[in-house]
Amino acid sequence: MNVILLGPPGAGKGTQAKRLTARFGIPQLSTGDILRKAAADGTPLGKKAKALMDAGKLVPDEIVNGIIDEALASGQAAKGFLLDGFPRTVPQATALDEMVQRRGTRIDRVVVLEVPTEVLVERLSGRATCPRCQTSYGKDSPPKRPGICDNDGEKLVVRPDDMPDRVRQRMLEYESKTALLTGYYKARGVVRPVNGVGTVDEVEKRIVQALQ
Ligand code: AMP
């Protein structure tokens, strides 16, 4: 099963992708996670992307297309994948179509997580993230020990792009470039809108239903 999780920043794509990965045994492919790791490791790719990411702007299509093509070529997604944060523009969606067609497969479902802006802003302003495993915590899903990741004991940090002015920029990027993708996939009958307001468990249940 090849699934895209679409939705604005703070909609819960990363959190839900991690849950669904555990449930279905297919990998989460997150361009944001991969870029943050590259930035932390100081690779040439990471250095190129970091300033744009910290400013809440999208990195160029060629960079993220290359990341996904490489991930698909590695064989880790042979049984399917959950894309989280990709595609984010129409050219990325076109490139993805080409990548999956080349491998004789297709996009089965596009889950669109719907969350009102005021809820997104509140979630992102209270969010802390593990720099190692990229798990996010918030008021609705706090870590067991304050400030410490449940998975690996790492100290949680606030992502630079979760600062209020960057959040506004990311919302603008979403509205002007990414929201169009629902229309892009609609004609294929694969789009499933899902209410993203509620507990992590509640939203997970709705997504699982939408995938059936
Ligand atoms: P995310 O973790 O998905 O919120 O992504 C964090 C940041 O990484 C974004 O604000 C962009 O700067 C960059 N990024 C991640 N995925 C993409 C993508 N598909 N296209 C362009 N930039 C991306």
Q: Is 13 one of the catalytic residues? A: yes
pLDDT > 70: percent of the chain: 100
Catalytic residue among 18, 36, 50, 88: 88
Distance CA 203, CA 59 (A): 29
Give 3-state DSSP helix, strand, coil % of the chain, rounded to 5: 50, 15, 35
Q: Domain coordinates of the chain in residue numbers?
A: 2-211
140: pLDDT strictly greater than 90:
no
Q: Which tens digits make up the pLDDT trace of 148-181?
A: 999 999 999 999 999 999 999 999 999 999 999 9
Angstrom distance (rounded) from CA 196 to CA 198: 6
Helix (H) or strand (E) holding 82: strand 81-84
Catalytic-residue membership of 36: no
Active site residue 159: yes
Active site residue 166: no
Superfamily assignment of 2-211 in CATH? Answer: P-loop containing nucleotide triphosphate hydrolases (3.40.50.300)
Q: Which tokens hold the place of 122?
A: 């509140």
Tens of pLDDT, residue by residue over 65-116, are: 999 999 999 989 989 999 999 999 999 999 999 999 999 999 999 999 999 9
Ligand 1 atom with minimal separation from the 31 CA: 16
36, 50, 166, 170: the active-site residue: 170
Q: Tokens 């209020």 sit at which residue?
A: 164
Q: Rounded CA gap, 91 and 70, in Å?
A: 17
Closest protein CA for atom 15 of ligand 1: 32
Q: Is the CB of 10 under 6 A from ligand 1?
A: no
Residue 189 falls in which region: left (phi positive, over 0), alpha (psi -120 to 50) or beta: left
Q: Give the total residue count for the chain.
A: 212
Query: Using a 6 Å cutoff on CB, does residue 52 contact ligand 1?
Result: yes
Provide the total of helices (H) and of strands (E) in the chain, helices listed first. 9, 7
